[in-house]
Amino acid sequence: MFKLTIILKSASLYFALSLFLINSANAQNQLEDAIKQLSSENVTGYMQPFLNGFSANMNSGFAGSAKIDNKFTIRLDAIGMATIIGAAEKEYSAIAPAPFSQQPVRTATVFGDQGATLQGPEGLSYKFQNGQLDMDYFPLVAPQLTIGNIYNTQLLFRFFTYSSDSDVPDIDMMGIGLRHGLNQYFNNLPVDLATGVFYQTFKIGDIIDTNFFSINGMASKEFSLLTIYGGVQYEYASMNLNYTLSGASVEEDSEIDLSFRSENYIRAILGFNLNLGVVHLRSDFNLGKVSVLSASIGFGI
């Protein structure tokens, strides 16, 4: 019971740190407020880098080994992920509302700096939304519970709920996965092989709802306490935004309800895992549309 308490507190601490990092520039829920100022023509471009980074993080860190023997396993991990945010993720092409010019203008995404200002007729001006997350990497931490191994198969769970009376948006996360060891179907393989499939949902506040899916193949090789692993993963993610456009006139359709997809589809994974008995340390690098660094500390057998 004492060890379980330590594990749960460790996972909570890591996730609380993640929430602090993500919301440090956003304590008054400025992200939701910024989205509500954007038309359906512009909000996708503004939020596309966020979905790319968010999905890259959420589809990371599932496992540090392809060895799935037919023996009892239970482990709780605190998994940290960080997507690298480059210059390309900080700008997009937006279009100002009429009567301003309908030519595309380069302006800030959610990860950018100041929104562009456009001059219009009769001395009017229009300013696009500023960026809200001023960072060169997008961090996230998630708790993960692994239970197995029944018929060389593991179940993975991710679950977290955060609710507050403050201006920080509520968070609801749920994920489930299945991993299966493949060595039982082959003789004398020099490496361990496994495949896995995962589905997750993540809701932020009242207007952001995301879904994530991934399927991967992994190979690993043990060297005493050290395991080297790698793999290839196909993934898919979508985001739904549902909000009322702030400041809309009565002539406009002020209700926005749209969905768009992540630009991440294929990634390569390479990493290592250190097995210290009941403590497991893991780190890997993921290369795809966006690059992700992932690391975890786990407790269990």
Question: Taking the chain, what is the end-to-end CA distance rounded to the nearest angstrom?
Answer: 15
146 touches 167 (CB < 8 A): no
Count of structural domains within the chain: 1
- What confidence tens digit (pLDDT) does each residue in 6-47 have? 444 444 444 444 444 444 434 346 788 888 888 888 999 999
What is the pTM (predicted TM-score) of this model? Answer: 0.85
- What confidence tens digit (pLDDT) does each residue in 224-246 have? 999 999 999 999 999 999 998 87
Q: What percent of the chain has pLDDT over 70?
A: 85
Give the structural domain span for 66. 2-300
- What confidence tens digit (pLDDT) does each residue in 79-93 have? 999 999 989 999 999
Instruction: Say what the pLDDT of residue 205 is.
Output: 81
- What confidence tens digit (pLDDT) does each residue in 54-64 have? 999 999 999 99
Tokens of 235: 């993934």
Instruction: Say what the pLDDT of residue 250 is.
Output: 43
- What confidence tens digit (pLDDT) does each residue in 177-227 have? 999 999 999 988 999 999 999 999 999 888 899 999 999 999 999 999 999
CA dihedral 10, 239, 92, 248 (to 10 degrees): -110
Instruction: Say what the pLDDT of residue 34 is.
Output: 86
Instruction: Say what the pLDDT of residue 33 is.
Output: 83
| Residue among 256, 227, 269, 249 nearest 44 (CA) | 256
